[in-house]
Structure 1
Amino acid sequence: MTSTSKITVLIPCFNEEQGIADVLTSFPTEKARINGYELQCIVIDNNSSDRTAEIARAHGATVLYEPKKGKGNALRLGIDKVSEDTDFIVMLDGDDTYRASELLRLIEPLESGFSDVVIGSRLGGRIGVDSMTSFNRFGNLVFTHLVRIFYRVNVTDVLTGYFAWKREALMRLRPHLTSQGFAIEMEMITKMAQLGEEITSVPISYDSRAGDSSLNPISDGVRILGMFLKNLLWQPQVQRIAFVSDAVMPFHKGGKEKRLYEISRRLVQEGREVHIYTMKWWEGPKVIQEDGVYFHALCKLHPLYSGERRSMVQAIWFSLATFKLLFASFDVLDVDHIPFFPIFSARIVTWLRGKKLYATWHEVWGKDYWMEYLNGPQGWIGYIIEELSFKLPDVIISNSWHTTRRLQQASVRCAIKTIPPGADLEEIYNTIPSNQESDVIMVGRFLKHKNVELFVKAMGILKENIPDIRGVIVGDGPEKSAIRTLIKSLGLQGNIKIVDRIEHNIGIYSLMKASKLLVLPSVREGFSMVVVEAHAAGLPVITTSHQDNAAKDLIREGVNGYLVQPNEHEIAQKIQLVLDNPDLMSPQQGIEQHDWKNVMQNIELSWV
């Protein structure tokens, strides 16, 4: 393993003072560390009257308190407290009947990708003398065979208390868990089967418990049977997801538009019902469907810009139209923070509807940039509106660690989920390199903060040592004419080719794969999918270390790129270094985490 994976262990407990210490000291902590795992133990004290919590804390466990009695109640609390950096989640009892030392046996099928869920099978393993009564064993065999027949799932012990999950698999299950007591295991297995999770069993040991059991074979057996019968007809309710964004693909191109485009279509593939509420970018009816996604026109199309700045009139009209969601049906409402005003409307809608408000945040401007963008009182008004908008969502989904830091510096109090951008890795991998080969490529709009002129000047410096160096700039924008003039004045017409905006992603990927590195001299990026795409295409990336450039968080110096000050000399120096050492870096290392499917799943988890 190249990096550490985190395993969080959940241990629901009720009066387990006799067994909890042995459980916590039996985990293979050192073996796990050697194999690249970090262990965290969470004990959920389910209203115990003994010293369970005290002993657990003394042995280094995090202790949570669940006053509502019942294993299901305790487990749900534990799941809700699992940290976002967890990779795998394990559940076992605190009575020392299950061997904590066998934990890694349950992790291996998850790590290898063989399954999403692993069940520790007592019936398929070793059951100690007097560990399970004949009556309990018979009941377990009956329930197990019934589940195998009616739910078509390959498990060999449906009443076990030893489980392991990939985090995303358990989070998909979490919204559907309702059982309070010992029927929780039957509920989990049957609902996971209905959700289509890949489930496997591994043999485990089962020992005599320490202390008295609170399980009643008759009454709890009836509840378990009831859960088995109830879930035969259960189907997961399709979540209705509503996104609010004034500009959307395929009608308007841009980074945030592409993010929503990719995520919404993958949500549809996962069985979600997705509705995007926007302006009327199209001709015809107010509601249309594209690739399974419903587009709703909240208002007529208003120009996004007034001159070079965002239109205040458009923002206000779209904000007022957002109140129409008072009459829309949705389970989740996620609003784009740009252009701020719709967040205020969406907040009122969700308050009145009794729903949470989720907001996707691309960047934080702050007072200094507002004063630069809008002079005088208008700048102050913009800054105050941004500050107020921070206080409205229940959860903010931040598109970069840079944005998250800025939100934290602004004292945002709601939960912040950081989910960086993605790329269609399969499409990039399968793209054939263009015949138009180059040494360096830049992809981006011709805007002031993109610093396209630094790319051109760096190429001029490099030409002194590499007369035939070739560069490609892909993009469009208001500064294109000035850049053409600069290229001509530096005598670089034969070295730099400008390619107008390419309609399909494959065209860009093709040019990337025909180049050797990507340069992004920008000093302000809310998030930068082009960096992720370049890495997926196998290109190192050179970008700036400017404080407002979120793309810098995607760079690991010397591994997938370099950070430079925004000046042509440093850029030229690093370009030369990469060209002279083509095998020095590994741009694709760790790129799988940025696959759009993983990004979509992380966003779904943020809604749990």
Structure 2
Amino acid sequence: MKIGIVTEYFPRSEKFEIRGGAEGCAFNEALYLSKNHDVIVLTSREKGMPPSYKIGKIKVITCGLERKYTQSGSFFKRIIFMIDAYLKSRKFDFDIVIGYNFITHSIAWLISKSKGIPVVARYHDVWIGEWTKNIGISGIFGEFLERFNLSRNFDAIFAVSNYTKNKLKKYADSNKIEVIPNIVDINVPEVDKSNNPTIVCVSRLVKYKRVEDLIRAIHIIKKDIPNIRCKIVGTGPMLNYLKELTKKLNIEKNIEFCGFIEKHEDVLKIIKSAHVFCIPSIVEGFGIVVIEAMGCQVPFVATKIPAIVESTGMKGGLFFKPTDYVDLANKIKKILTNKRLYTKLKKECKDKYKEYSRDNIGKILEMKLKEILSKPKK
């Protein structure tokens, strides 16, 4: 197959420099599919990126104006990216095209119409009715675009979870929706555990990720475990607020803001060295990083929301009530102070993680793409 992948962001190398689930999904799937098929990726041109480059057998074409990674705003440069990606797609003879987020679903659809080929929307979460709540006034653009996307006639929609599929059923033909989980296949580093009991959180620092709940929980935990440490990996518009909150609670010595870490291997080392992984987010379509923590055999504490409950099978960690930082603090303390529970959760992590291997999920993805191509053209 000749497969076109349209993703707003994509790593620069096999070092897997990612900041979000959609590009991680695109990278892992491109990597698997490129073993036996021709894969061309159309993505944004971030600073320092050349017009084209290769990662293994994957050919990457950068499109639009040079720009920084952003989750919201950047309307003009996003529109230029969309137009340029569509124009550059004309040079390639795809058999099928896949879009990986709300910005690229419409591009993939337009490419399919111009070439008369099948199109797939890879879907992580549905935000219709929730855009402005999640990211503010700039979410109006996302609301409009997602509604437009889901009114298009995709040949298939690949949802990452049943949770996402059920949300999609309100807006798309349920017969066209397939559930294919994310590939989570990492090389687990060998590192020593931190000397102090350590919590790690890997997250974009945006409102709906609720990292402030973790900071408040650390403030509570410190009363019983004075040497508690927390490492927060990621960047975003909430950074200054979170730093000020840390100062206000007088826990600056307990919390380390690590910023964006370019090498995925280095992120995994931080996770592996910790004792507990935390994801306090109230909005997730799957929660890839939780499964990565499971791969590192680090028990988690996560918000009890449908997507994470589904992806983990409620194995390998404990859940707390959304936005309830007191409950979060209690669950973290429970894991840190109960050795028998900790051992049990580590084993559950190891067993559950195996379900998301590149071979297991990749074979399903490949089979579904072949099924779409085998159908008679309309």
For normalisation by structure 1, the TM-score amounts to: 0.54
Partner of residue 151 from structure 2, selected from 370, 386, 391: 391
Q: Distance in 1 between matches of 2:232 and 2:48?
A: 33
Change in 2 beyond 3 A, CA 1:492/1:302: closer
| Partner in structure 2 of residue 338 of structure 1 | 102
8 Å CA contact retained: 1:437, 1:514? no
Deviation string for 1:432-474 (max 9, x for gaps)?
A: 2355653322121222211111111111111222222222222
- Give identity over the alignment, percent: 22
Q: Deviations over 1:156-177 (max 9, x none)?
A: xxxxxxxxxxxxxxxxxxxxxx
Shift of 1:384: 4.4
Equivalent residues in 2 for 1:183-262 (5 A)? 239-250=1-12, 253-255=18-20, 256-262=22-28
Query: Are the structure 2 counterparts of residues 287 and 539 from structure 1 closer, same or farther at C-alpha, using a change threshold of 3 Å?
Result: closer
Matched letter for residue 356 of structure 1: P
Q: Structure 1 pair 577/293, CA: closer, same or farther in 2 (3 Å)?
A: same
2:206 is matched with which residue?
447
Which deviates the most, 525-534 or 472-481?
472-481
Query: Which of 343, 366, 373 is the matching residue for 1:604?
Result: 366
Alpha-carbon separation, structure 2, partners of 1:284 and 1:579 = 43
CA distance in 2, matches of 1:283, 1:493: 34
Paired residues, number: 358
- After superposition, the C-alpha distances for 1:39-59 in whole angstroms (9 at most, x for unaligned) are xxxxxxxxxxxxxxxxxxxxx
Query: Residue 512 of structure 1 contacts residue 537 of structure 1 at CA under 8 Å; is this kept in 2?
Result: yes
Of the structure 1 ranges 283-292 and 591-600, higher mean CA displacement relative to structure 2 is found in 283-292
Q: Is the 8 A contact 1:431 1:506 kept in 2?
A: no
Equivalent residues of 2:161, 2:285 under 8 A apart: yes
The amino acid of 1:595's aligned partner reads S
Q: In structure 1, how many angstroms separate the alpha carbons of the residues matched to 2:184 and 2:124?
A: 17
1:508 corresponding residue in structure 2 = 267
- Tell me what 2:311 maps to: 554
Work out whether residues 304 and 310 of structure 1, in 8 Å CA contact, stay in contact via their aligned partners in 2: no
Structure 1: how far apart are the matches of 2:9 and 2:48?
15
Does the 8 A contact of 1:277 with 1:297 survive in 2? yes
Counterpart mapping for 1:109-188 below 5 A: none
Residue 64 of structure 2 contacts residue 77 of structure 2 at CA under 8 Å; is this kept in 1? no
* Partner Cα distance (2:50, 2:214) in 1: 45
Structure 2 CA distance for partners of 1:538 and 1:343, relative to 1, 3 Å: closer
Q: Output the CA distance in 2 between the equivalents of 1:499 and 1:262.
A: 25
1:253 Cα offset (Å): 2.9
Given the alignment of the two structures, is residue 356 of structure 1 paired with residue 112 of structure 2, yes or no? Answer: no
Whether the 8 Å CA contact 1:436–1:511 is kept in 2: the answer is no
Q: Give CA-to-partner distance per residue, 1:140-193, whole Å, 9 cap, x none.
A: xxxxxxxxxxxxxxxxxxxxxxxxxxxxxxxxxxxxxxxxxxxxxxxxxxxxxx
What is residue 49 of structure 1 aligned with on the other side? none
Partner of 2:166 in structure 1?
Answer: 405
Q: CA 1:385–1:408 in structure 2 vs 1: closer, same or farther (change >3 Å)?
A: same
Q: Which amino acid aligns with 1:385?
A: L
* Distance of aligned partners of 1:324 and 1:520 in 2 relative to their CA distance in 1, 3 Å threshold: same
Choose which of 179, 182, 193 in structure 2 pairs with 1:421: 182
State the secondary structure of the residue aligned to 1:301. strand
Structure 1 residues 461 and 554, CA, compared in 2 at 3 Å: closer, same or farther? Answer: same
Residue 130 of structure 1 is matched in structure 2 by: none
1:273 pairs with one of 38, 54, 59: 38
Q: Matches of 1:578 and 1:240 in 2, distance apart?
A: 48
CA apart distance, 1:395: 0.7
Matched, 1:578 2:326: no
Q: 1:473 to 1:337 in 2, by over 3 A?
A: closer
Deviation at 1:396, TM superposition (A): 0.9
Q: Are 1:555 and 1:563, in contact at CA under 8 Å, matched by a contact in 2?
A: no
Tell me what 1:73 maps to: none
Q: Is the 8 A contact 2:135 2:208 kept in 1?
A: no
> Does the Cα contact within 8 Å between 2:102 and 2:145 map onto a contact in 1?
no
Residues 533, 257 of structure 1: alpha-carbon distance in 2 compared, 3 angstrom cutoff: same
Taking the aligned partners of 2:48 and 2:257, their CA distance within structure 1 comes to 33
CA 575–343 in structure 1, closer or farther in 2 if over 3 Å, else same:
closer
Whole-Å separation in 2 of the counterparts to 1:579 and 1:277: 44
Among candidates 548, 569, 574, match of residue 326 of structure 2:
569
Other-structure match for 1:479: 238
Q: 1:370 deviation in Å?
A: 4.2
**Aligned partners of 2:39 and 2:59 also within 8 Å:** yes
**CA pair 436-415 structure 1, distance change in 2 beyond 3 A:** farther
1:495 maps onto 2:249 in alignment: no
**Partner-residue secondary structure (3-state), 2:4:** strand
The worse-fitting range, judged by mean Cα deviation, of 385-394 and 274-283 is 274-283
Output one character per residue of 1:300-345: Cα deviation in whole Å (capped at 9) or x when no partner: 335665xx83333233323323144244211221122321xx4344
Letter of the 1:257 counterpart: E
State the TM-score, normalized to the length of structure 2. Answer: 0.84
* 1:525 aligned residue: 284
SS of the equivalent of 1:367 reads: coil
SS at structure 2 position matched to 1:533: helix
1:313 matched to 2:76? The reply is yes
Work out whether residues 438 and 472 of structure 1, in 8 Å CA contact, stay in contact via their aligned partners in 2. no
In structure 1, the gaps of 5 or more residues are 1-238
2:99 partner letter: V
Other structure's SS at 1:472 match: strand
**Contact 1:522–1:544 (CA under 8 A) maintained in structure 2:** yes
The answer as to whether partners of 2:120 and 2:156 remain within 8 angstroms in 1 is yes
CA-to-aligned-CA distance 1:177-216 (integer Å, 9 cap, x gap):
xxxxxxxxxxxxxxxxxxxxxxxxxxxxxxxxxxxxxxxx
Pairing partner for 1:544 from 297, 303, 316: 303
- Pair 574,245 (structure 1): closer, same or farther in 2 beyond 3 Å: same
